[in-house]
Structure 1
Amino acid sequence: MKATLIGLVAAILLGPAASAAPTTTSFDDYLARVMHDTGLPGLAVVVTEGDRVVHAAGYGSDSEGAPVTADTPMRIASVSKSFTATAVMTLVEDGRIALDEPVADQVPGFTMADPRFTGVTVRHLLNQTSGFSDTTIDVTGLESAGSLADHTAGLAPASLAADPGTRYEYCNANYDLAARLVEVASGEAFGDYLARHVFGPLGMTRSAVSAADVRPADGYNSVFGAWVSRPELPGFLDSSGAGGVITTAADLGRWLISQTGHGTRLLSPEGLRTTHTSSAVADYAMGWIPEDGPGGVPLLVHPGNLFTYTAVQAVVPSTGQGFAVLANSAALQDDTYDILNGLIAVAQGRDPAPAGGGRQVFELVLGLVALVAAGLGVLGVRRSRGWARRRAGTPAWRVAPRFVPVLAPAVVLAAYPDLVSVLMNGRAVTWAQLTYFAVPLTITIVVAALAGAATAVARLVRLRATVH
C-alpha cells in the first residue's frame, strides 16, 4: 500500500455531513482543480451512495486524443482482485468450491516443489496467506504464461516462504491460481465466467478481462513532467485474476453499489461479509483491505498499479458510499489516493485538500540531478589528465579509494532492481518495469552511472599513461 493510504483513512466520514448528497457541480469543481494541479492526461471517477450513482464523469483525454468519459475503458490492475474473490465466492455458495479445503484437491495440475503446498486452502489464496512469495516464485517468468492453466503449471518448481495460513505476503500468484480454480470449478474460461456471473448481472457491459473483448486505450508515463503515451508493458494480463480487469467508471459504479449490499446482489450477506473480513494473521481480506476511520467507521480499500494505469476503490459499508478513481497514467507519484481522499471530503461537504504538484517538483529535481551529473561527468573527463598527473607515483592503495565516489552510481545502477524490490517489501521488479512508471529515476541513475564510469575510465587511462 502507498503511504497516501494514511491520508485516505484520515478523510473518512466524521459526522452527519456524510449523509448529505453533494451536488454534481461540487464534484466537477474539485476535479477540474485536480486536473489543473496534477496535470494528469486523463481521469475517470465514480461516487455512489446506497443504490444510486451520485457522480460519474471523465476528464482529460486518452492516448488517441478522445475525451475521457465515465465510459472510457481502463485497466484497473490489482483492483481486479476483488472481482476474482467474488467470482470464487459465488462458486463457494453454489457448493462447487470448498473455501477451507486444499487447492491441490480442487485444481488438477497444481503442484509445487515444496510439499507444504498441499496445505494451501482457497481461503489462504484469497487472504494472501498461502505462503506464496515473489521471493520463492518466479513471478517474472510466469508473465510469459499464455493461459491460467499454463500459469498454474509454472508453479511446479516453486516453494513457499512460510507455512500456509501463518503469514501474510502480497503475491499475484495467489489470485491467478484462484482464477484457475474458477475455471476448473465452473467449466468455463475465467473471462466467460466473470461475464456471465459478475459483469452481466450487474450490467457492466464495458468490462472484461481481455483486451480482445474490451480494448483500453494506451496510457501514459510521466518523463520529467511531460506525459508520454506508451502501450502497456507486455505480460500476463488477459485472463489474469490478479490484475486483468478492464472496466469503466460507470461500470464500477454498479460494482460499488453491489459491494455495499445494495442493488443487484452477487453474494449472500454472509458471503459478502466473508470477502470483506480480514484473515486471522493480517488486515488483508479478500481483494479488500479493511481500515478503521476516525470514530471507528470501517472503510474498505484496494489500489491498482500497472505501468500505464493507476486506480483505487473504496467503500464505506456502514453508510453505503462507494468511490473509485481511474487514471490512464502511471508515474513515480500516484495521485489517485489524494484524489479519492478529496472525493470523500466533498461527499462529506468538507473542503478537500489540494491534490497534485509533488510529481512535477520531484521529477524536476531528478532532471536537474541528471543534468548536474552529466556536467560533472564531462568535467571529470576533461580534468582527468591533471588528476592523473597529480597522483603520478602515488601507491595504488592510496589512489584506489579515489575511484569509489565516481563509481558509486554504477554500483547503485547494478543493484537498482534489487534495491527497488526491497523498498516494495520484496515484490519482484524487472528492468523493463523500471523503464515505465519509474523512468525519470531510472534515467537519472543511468546518467549518473555513465558519468561516473566515464570519469573513472578517463582517470585510469591517464594514470596508466603517466606510469609508462
Structure 2
Amino acid sequence: MHRVLITAAIVFGLVAPSSANAAPEPALTPAAIDAYLDEAMESTGLPGVSLVVTHGDTVVHATGAGRDSRGEPMAADSPMRVASLSKSMTATAVMTLVEDGRLALDRPVVEQLPEFRMDDARANRITVRHLLNQTSGLSDRTVDIGATDKARTLTDNVATLRSGTLAAEPGTRWAYCNVNYDIAARLVEVASGRSFGDYLRERVFGPLGMTASGTDADLPAPPNGFTSVFGQWVARPELVGFPGGGAGSVITTAADMGRWLIANTGNGPHLVSAQGLTTMQTPVLHRYGMGWGTEEDGDLLVHSGNLFTYNAAQAIDPKTGYGFAVMTNSTGLADDTYPIMLGLAAMSRGETPEVPGATRQWSEVALAAIVVAALGLGGLGVFRARRWASARRGTWWTGARLLPALVPVLLFAGFPAVISIIMGGRAVTWTQLTYYAPLLITVGVAAAAGLATTATRVYRLRSVRSGE
C-alpha cells in the first residue's frame, strides 16, 4: 500500500525530489553483503532488516541488522511477516494438489469448491488458474473487502463473496486482488481435508526444512513493527485483517526464506515438478505468473509484500541461480526492501549496487514543511479575514472566492476514496491511513487551516454586511 501512497504524495505535490545453466559466479561474499547492508541501513534509517542470499543449492549469507521493537538484535532467525510473499507459497500448495490429481487448474472453481458463489453468472467460469494468475475478474471494487477482513475462517471468508460481482470477464484482465489467493487457500483445505496452515507445514514448509514458518493463525505474533512519523519510528501492532489466509498470512525467517529460494531456483527438495515450477513462474498478463512476477527487463522473478508495519521482497534470477529475500520490521512512505533486493541482485551480476537513498526522510521533510506552511497560511487567513471581508463586501462572486480554501477540506473528507482511486480500486480505510501518519497529518492540517480560514471569512463577511 505504501508504494501507492508515495504516488499519492507525488500527485499532491508532497514528495521531494534455473541454476543448471548458471553463469559464472560473481564475487558475492558474506562480507560484501554485510558491507552493503550497513550502507543501506545508514542511508535509509530502517530500524531492523533481515535478509538472505542463495546461489544454486547453497545459502550464501543469511543475516540481520538493527533491532526489533523489544530491543532485540535482528538476526537470520528473527520472525518476520512477509505479507504477499505468501502468495508464491499458496500457489505452490495448490500446484502440489494439481500434480496429485486432486485439483485441476483449468476446471471452474465452482466445480471444485461448491460453496463458492457470487452474484454474477460470470463467476461460474473462474478457474483455479485464473485465481493464481490474478485474472479472475475479482476486484476490491466489486466485493465487500471489509467483510472478508472480518471473517475468522476461510469458509466464512469465501461466504462473504456471495453478494459480490466481477469487474471483468474471467481471463481477460489482470487485477491484483487478495481475494483470489484466499479462495485458493480454501481450495487447498477442501481438496486436502486439512487446514490450510497444516497443509503448508506438511507439504511445503516441512519438506524444505522451514521449521520456523507458518501462518499468523498458527504461530505467535512477531514483535510489533514500526511506522515512521516525521522521522521518528513508532512501534505499533500490525493491522491484521483476515488471519490464516492465502494472500498474506505467512510468518517466517531469513534462514527459512533461504530454503524457500533454493527450492524456487529448482534446487534442493522438489515440491513440484519442473513443469509445475515453470507454470508458476511464467507471466501471463501484466508480467504476473502465480505468486511471481517479473521485473520490467524480465531478468528477475520477483514479488513484494507490504503490510502496515512489515515489508518484504523476494527475487530469483533464473540466469544465474541466485535468490534474494529482504525483510524489514517497518513501513513508511517508501519501501526500502525492494531497492535493497535490487542492489543485491546487481552485486550478484558483478555490478556496483545502488544504495537506497533517503526517500522516506526527504518525503517526510517535504510533508513537514507543508504542515508548517499550512499552519502559517491558515493563521494568516484568520488574521486577515476582516480585511478580506471588507474588500469583498459588495461583490456578488464572494461565495466563489471562498471555495479555494475549502479544497483541502474536501480532499480530507474523501481521502480514503481518493487513495483508493490512485490504487486502482483497492479498498482503503481511515484506520489503514493512520499507519501513514505524515501524509494523513499533512492533508488533515491543510484541511483544518482551510476550514478555519473559510469559517472566519464567512463570520467577518456577515459582520461587515450587517454594519457591525
TM-score normalised by L of structure 2: 0.93
Assess, with a 3 A threshold, how the Cα gap between structure 1 residues 29 and 443 changes in structure 2: closer, same or farther: same
Q: Which residue of 2 aligns with 1:333?
A: 334
Aligned length: 451
Paired residue for 1:29, among 30, 35, 44? 35
TM-score normalised by L of structure 1: 0.93
Contact 1:211 1:246 (8 Å CA) reproduced: no
Runs (4 or more) in structure 1 with deviation over 6 Å come to none
Contact 1:77 1:242 (8 Å CA) reproduced: yes
Assess, with a 3 A threshold, how the Cα gap between structure 1 residues 166 and 402 changes in structure 2: closer, same or farther: same
RMSD: 1.9
Q: Which residue of 1 aligns with 2:223?
A: 217
- Partners in 1 of 2:398 and 2:404 — Cα distance? 12
**Amino acid across the alignment from 1:318:** K
- Partners in 2 of 1:206 and 1:149 — Cα distance? 26
- Deviation string 1:61-92 (CA, Å, 9 cap, x unpaired) is 00111111111111111111000000000000
Assess, with a 3 A threshold, how the Cα gap between structure 1 residues 18 and 347 changes in structure 2: closer, same or farther: farther
Compute the displacement of 1:421 (Å). 1.7
Compute the displacement of 1:211 (Å). 5.3
Q: Which residue of 2 aligns with 1:287?
A: 291
- Partners in 2 of 1:145 and 1:462 — Cα distance? 52
Matched, 1:179 2:185: yes
- Deviation string 1:400-422 (CA, Å, 9 cap, x unpaired) is 12212211111111222222122
Assess, with a 3 A threshold, how the Cα gap between structure 1 residues 211 and 173 changes in structure 2: closer, same or farther: closer
- Partners in 1 of 2:346 and 2:164 — Cα distance? 45
Compute the displacement of 1:282 (Å). 3.7
SS where residue 461 of structure 2 aligns? helix
- Partners in 1 of 2:45 and 2:248 — Cα distance? 26
Contact 1:388 1:463 (8 Å CA) reproduced: yes
- Partners in 1 of 2:155 and 2:259 — Cα distance? 30
Contact 2:217 2:244 (8 Å CA) reproduced: no
Structure 1 window deviating more from structure 2 (449-458 vs 404-413): it is: 404-413
Q: Which residue of 2 aligns with 1:161?
A: 167
- Partners in 2 of 1:59 and 1:123 — Cα distance? 39
Contact 2:283 2:294 (8 Å CA) reproduced: yes
Matched, 1:410 2:413: no
**Amino acid across the alignment from 1:379:** L
- Deviation string 1:263-305 (CA, Å, 9 cap, x unpaired) is 11100111111111122x4421000013464xxx742100111
Contact 1:207 1:214 (8 Å CA) reproduced: no
Contact 1:56 1:250 (8 Å CA) reproduced: yes
**Amino acid across the alignment from 1:78:** S
Q: Which runs of 5+ in 2 are unaligned?
A: 7-18
**Amino acid across the alignment from 1:348:** R
User: Superposition pairs for residues 6-155 of structure 1, below 5 Å?
Assistant: 19-155=25-161
Q: Percent identity?
A: 55
SS where residue 465 of structure 1 aligns? helix
Q: Which runs of 5+ in 1 are unaligned?
A: 5-12
Compute the displacement of 1:356 (Å). 2.5
**Amino acid across the alignment from 2:208:** L
Compute the displacement of 1:390 (Å). 2.5
Structure 1 window deviating more from structure 2 (210-219 vs 35-44): it is: 210-219
- Partners in 2 of 1:240 and 1:416 — Cα distance? 28
Contact 1:84 1:242 (8 Å CA) reproduced: yes
- Deviation string 1:335-364 (CA, Å, 9 cap, x unpaired) is 111101111122223321121211101110
**Amino acid across the alignment from 2:418:** L
**Amino acid across the alignment from 2:231:** G
